[in-house]
A = this chain, B = another copy of it.
Amino acid sequence: MDKLTHLDETGAARMVDVGSKAETRRSATARGRIAMQPATLAAVREGSGPKGDVLATARIAGIMAAKKTGELIPMCHPLALDSVTVAFTFDDGGVVVEATASLTAKTGVEMEALTAASIALLTIYDMAKALEKGMVIEQVRLVAKTGGKSGDWHTE
């Protein structure tokens, strides 16, 4: 259990002390996907084209959620983000989101990127749920990080 850094030696939750860590430039990229029926996907595509706000709404929700990460995830440090981007691509059966956050700080931004991706996907669900309740959010994961003591990391 001593490896779960958010627990102290008695098992109590805590915000890890990052006071002695150096400030370095850090970034993290997360990805996720929402799977849906072809008819739903067609409506989301149409609602995201020249005439529609679907993906704009999801993008903004994701960016704003990244800024709220320290408020949502109990042991996360509040962070002054330098940038957040949220981008979408369509595949055959759904929408893929990729969120990247970066900053110069004592601790990493993995949770900010993952939170942005999750809330962006939930927003797409919300916008399309009148058409299909069975959409599934899946494969939400970190794909890369840079900076910090543990250095760079990416999924193969």
Q: Interface on A for B, CB 8 Å cutoff?
A: 1, 3-8, 10-19, 25, 32, 43-44, 46-47, 49-54, 56-57, 59-61, 63-65, 67-68, 70-87, 102-106, 110-111, 114-115, 118-119, 122-123, 125-131, 133-142, 145, 153, 155
Contacts and interface: CB of A to CB of B under 8 A. Distances in A.
The A interface is mostly helix, strand or loop, or mixed, namely mixed
Contact of A14 (B65, B74, B85): B85
A80 B23 CA distance: 13
Copies per assembly? 6
16 contacts: A1-B52, A4-B128, A7-B54, A12-B87, A13-B56, A15-B83, A16-B83, A18-B82, A60-B61, A61-B72, A64-B72, A67-B71, A78-B78, A78-B79, A111-B126, A134-B141
Nearest to A154: B133
Given A11-B53, A12-B59, A75-B126, 8 more contacts: A12-B56, A13-B57, A14-B84, A50-B50, A80-B105, A134-B155, A135-B141, A140-B140
Contacts of A135: 141
